[in-house]
Structure 1
Amino acid sequence: MEVVLRNLFQALGKSRSANRLAKKYGLHLGAARFVAGETIMQSIEAVRSLNQDGRVATLDHLGEFVSSEEEALHSADMCIQTLDAVAASGVDSNLSLKMTSLGLDISKDLCMRSMRRILDRARQHGNFVRIDMEDHAHCQISLDIYKELREHYDNVGIVLQAYLYRTVQDIKDLNSLGANLRLVKGAYKESEEVAYPHKRDVDENYKQIIQMHLANGNYTAVASHDEAIISFTKQFVSEKGISKDRFEFQMLYGICEELQKQLVKEGYRVRVYIPFGVDWFGYFMRRLAERPANVWFVLKNMLK
């Protein structure tokens, strides 16, 4: 049943019609647990609340289903407005984005122009931008763009996914750039031709790439709610004498809040990924696909 639900949520997350329907009901369906709101100022207030107990953030303006240059440029404008709002408010947050929201599927040149605009503005504010990794079909072009951007910008990082077979080699390839990486397990549905199908293999690969990137001396963001992975990371950095300012833990907004706070108390940097925007449905479905047990939470909210 869990596999059926996971496949269902992944399919719904890609549905334009389901996305349009969800907008009619709004975040009260249960998505408000995972999405900070629909406006920039709502997201800023969410960051401010986290900052009060020592957590930092990365904001992501959700932009699913971009199919025109106009939509892509609007998404880029929202990224720039978010960076401006962070600077004006004084909260501690950087920016995450998906390049498909900037028109990557329309034109690489369109996406690159927007990336340069965003990175220029982030540099003006002394801020940092994280490129989210999407499905396997976008992996190579995302890495190619990242490498090209790194020739001119040092305030940009990218994400690698442990469930892909290729990731160990990608870690090796990016080492010479001193890449700032967020390492995740991976949340997209992929075929066994490109990704490990079993959790135990994903976990082992995850541990391997964490070790590799930390040992290379590059800044590492370990993005996981898995306490076994977190404990593994803590033990590894302790054994190798790696300073706490060379890595951070990252978690999602609305998930494992007590664990986040405990890690802060232990002296670790914890960054919370905070999504916002009107196109929240695809993101919400991916969270349900990761943990179908959250469905009960959603049903309770629908019945209120």
Structure 2
Amino acid sequence: MKNTINREQQLAIDAATALKAIARRPDIKMQVEHQPQLYALLQRAAARYVTGEQRANALEVAELLHGEGYAVSLEYIGENTVSRADCQQAAAELMGVLTDLGEQGIGGRVSFDLSHIGLLVDNELALQHVLQLGELSQMYGIELFISMEESAKTAAILAIYRQAVALYPLIGITLQAHLHRTWEDASRLLAQDIRVRFVKGAYEEPDTLALSRSAELDDRYVQLFELAVERGCRISLATYDELLIDRLLLYSWEGAASVELELLYGIRPELAVQLREQSYPVRVYLTYGQEWYLYLCHRIAEYPPNLYQALIDVVGGQEQAPVMQYRLMKPH
């Protein structure tokens, strides 16, 4: 029995690793993009997790969810951009998102990867773009959140964050619980009203740098949460691990400036509804853009059984728009 359990677990791990490797292969991505029929089929599967390719798609979903009482976070998908012009285009698009959210009264949050707006080109370019976004976010009162990427980028990301948040306090930072360095980073960064999002960590890292998915990782996540509460932070708990969420709900949130649960669009919508019905603050993380291929691969890789759902979506399409699964039974 022991060998059977280990083999099943290993198959899941190997499947996730293979899917992440596929996501990073530009030759496969190019094949998908240049075969219209294959592109259209995979786009059906991506529609469960991505609101669409255009900003208008994301704004429409954001408005619907806002009307149901959810907070929202929007991300224009993209990372590891190596062209200065493409970085400038991405920054301009994010500014458009901020403006539209503000002018349409939706509010919410805009999230992004620093490598999408200049980190791989020039740290100063990335900082310049963050400051431009920060000024606009301050004008509209909309949070701006820097996502976390591979561990090799962590020091640069945190350095840019520190410079930016000193000028624009509506800027938040994401911390990955699985990295061994994160406790020290959190101890230095977290303070009253600091905006922080905790994630387990989606990137493959060596054991010398990070924990694998385990009870120890869950313990560290909880410890980081407790530290943030003690420091009076504004906290987003970004996980759809229901066992971990149940554990977090047992702790007192008193002392924190605010606490919310953040769930990815299309992942466990019934859990989002359940939490909102119980009056917990829930934020739904919405993505849009043409770079959905990598995002789809990661959603399947983090939970390989999602591959079955992707096959169903590809073959039969979806019976209803994913956003409709977020409707509540009672008003809030």
Greater length-normalized contact order (CA 8 Å, ≥ 6 residues apart): 1
Q: 2:133 aligned with 1:102, yes or no?
A: no
Match of 1:4 in 2: 14
- The alpha-carbon deviation at position 139 of structure 1 amounts to 0.8
1:53–1:261 contact (8 Å) kept in structure 2 = no
**Mean Cα deviation higher: 155-164 or 83-92:** 83-92
Code of the aligned partner of 1:11:
A
Partner of 1:265: 277
Q: Which amino acid aligns with 1:63?
A: G
- In the alignment, the residues of structure 2 paired with residue 177 and residue 100 of structure 1 have an alpha-carbon distance, to the nearest angstrom, of 28
Q: What's the TM-score once normalised by structure 1's chain length?
A: 0.94
Who is 2:78 aligned against?
63
Q: CA-to-partner distance for each residue in 1:19-69, whole Å, 9 max, x for gaps?
A: 333344145340110001000110001111211221110000011341200
Contact 2:107 2:142 in 1 (8 A): no
What count of residue pairs does the alignment treat as equivalent?
A: 301
Highest Rg: 1 or 2? 2
One-letter code aligned to 1:275: T
Q: What is aligned with 2:23?
A: 13
Taking a change above 3 Å as real, the CA distance of residues 126 and 92 of structure 1, as seen in their structure-2 partners, is: closer
**C-alpha distance in 1 between matches for 2:70 and 2:148:** 23
Provide the rounded CA distance (Å) in 2 between the counterparts of 1:94 and 1:254.
Answer: 18
Deviations 1:192-217 (A, max 9, x none): 01001241221111111111111211
RMSD: 1.6
Name the residue aligned to 1:76.
Answer: 91
| Among candidates 198, 207, 230, match of residue 222 of structure 2 | 207
Query: How big is each residue's C-alpha offset from its partner over 1:150-181, in whole Å with a ceiling of 9 and x where there is no partner?
Result: 22110100100111111111111002474210
Residue 275 in 1 paired to residue 290 in 2? no
2:6 paired residue number? none
AA of the residue aligned to 1:4 = D
| TM-aligned CA deviation for residue 219 of structure 1 | 1.0
| Aligned residue identity for 1:61 | Y
Distance 2:310 2:31 in 1: 16
Change (3 A) 1:139 1:177: farther
Structure 1 residue 197 corresponds to structure 2 residue 212: yes
More deviation in 138-147 or 82-91?
A: 82-91
1:285 maps to which of 271, 274, 297: 297
Question: Partner residue of 1:296?
Answer: 308
What do the CA deviations read for 1:81-102 (whole angstroms, capped 9, x no partner)?
1111112222232100000000
Give distance in 2, aligned partners of 1:287 and 1:177. 33
Q: Do the aligned residues in 2 keep the contact of 1:47 with 1:92 (CA within 8 Å)?
A: no
Contiguous gaps of at least 5 residues in structure 1: none
Task: Give the secondary-structure state (helix, strand or coil) at the position aligned to 2:286.
Answer: strand
Contact 1:40 1:85 in 2 (8 A): no
AA aligned to 2:182 is T
Following superposition, the deviation at residue 129 of structure 1 comes to: 0.3
